Amino acid sequence: MNEKQRIGGWIRRFLMEYLVGERNLARNTQASYRDTLALLLPFTAQRVRQPVDHLDVEDISADVVRSFLQHIEQKRSCSIVTRNQRLAAIHALARFIGERCPEYIAWCSEIRAVPFKKTPKPTMTYLEKPEMDALLNAPDCSTRQGQRDYALILFLYNSGARADEAARLTVGDLELGRSPSVKINGKGGKTRYCPLWTLTAGVLAPLIAERVSHEVVFLNRRKQPLTRFGIRTLVKRNVLKAAWQEPSLLTKQVSVHTIRHTTGVHLLRAGVDINTIRAWLGHVSLNTTNVYAEVDLEMKAKALAHCEIPVSEQHSKPWHDYPGVMSFLRAL
């Protein structure tokens, strides 16, 4: 059997040479592609009744891919967004093989013809100022865990950091001197700097006292680094506490990203320039940041009030008092 036909060798090259060596994609992206193939290969092997190590490239046909996508939606209860992410990884593998082996160009075209599912754009959730204040007041700061929770939530609100960015934050990334700031290592290896409030710097200082620069800032009760999943659980736990003060929190799906959106909206309301907010949050495109202006009803209401037309007596007559105009319209 020609080794070019075995899918295993191509996958090794795709994951090691292409994703890492050529594209230098983020570790999360590499993990997502790896997980997709770890699901696809056993599914394909079961369909064609072959061991995984004996699968050929063309065993992963377009029909198999469609069945696989249906399987992860129905059996694994994956969302359409996740389904499309899995398909993007399969498309990337097909393109990689097709570009390097002309005999698979037709196969590549068939795989890449499997379409993405259209998904409705989700409504962006953010917190109003009283809701954010209630979340900040939720931790019990008389305990070490409560102090850490408060510091983390305040840091997320100040910086607009993602869960993964907060989880990887090290002591050396913080500058808590006269002009406090933080270096955030973001998606795709991009680095940005964000100013910190004096309050945030003061709360973080005790957490990192007598610790070396390479240590992670936010730790769990076992003194191990908090993972992004741990940070999400922490936020949800404190949301439930805050709901006693602000019941409206129970009507919202509050996550770490919700706090990030809250930062963007509140900065915009405070009059911060949209380009500054883009750099603050680490958005690649200004279009991503513009969504905060689109969803903020408070700012829309203020804008509407500026251009509201006052009611006057001469415009208060109902439409049927203008028979000339209505006769003209009916005659068209």
User: Which of 168, 257, 261, 266 is an active site residue?
Assistant: 257
Return the DSSP state at 250. Answer: G
Residue 266 annotated in active site:
no
Amino acid type, 87? L
Residue 162 annotated in active site:
yes
| DSSP labels, 51-92 | -GGG-BGGGS-HHHHHHHHHHHHHTS---HHHHHHHHHHHHH
Residue 257 annotated in active site:
yes
User: Which of 148, 162, 192, 266 is an active site residue?
Assistant: 162
Specify whether the CB–CB gap between 227 and 167 falls below 8 A: yes
Residue 260 annotated in active site:
yes
Phi, psi values for residue 49, rounded to 5°: 55, 50
Q: What's the distance, Cα to Cα, between the start and end of the chain in Å?
A: 77
User: Which of 260, 261, 266, 278 is an active site residue?
Assistant: 260
User: Which of 18, 104, 150, 292 is an active site residue?
Assistant: 292
CA nearest neighbour of 97 among 26, 2, 18, 16: 18
User: Which of 83, 86, 168, 283 is an active site residue?
Assistant: 283
Taking the C-alpha atoms of residue 173 and residue 159, their distance in angstroms, rounded to an integer, is 13
Taking the C-alpha atoms of residue 261 and residue 279, their distance in angstroms, rounded to an integer, is 14
Per-residue CA distances from 161 to 122, 299, 326 (Å): 20, 24, 58
Taking the C-alpha atoms of residue 245 and residue 136, their distance in angstroms, rounded to an integer, is 11
Taking the C-alpha atoms of residue 92 and residue 98, their distance in angstroms, rounded to an integer, is 10
Residue 236 annotated in active site:
no
Per-residue CA distances from 283 to 32, 66, 127, 138, 254 (Å): 21, 33, 20, 29, 21
Taking the C-alpha atoms of residue 187 and residue 161, their distance in angstroms, rounded to an integer, is 11
Residue 148 annotated in active site:
no
User: Which of 4, 34, 187, 211 is an active site residue?
Assistant: 187
Tokens representing residue 172 in the block: 């050396």
Task: Write out the catalytic residue numbers.
Answer: 162, 187, 257, 260, 283, 292
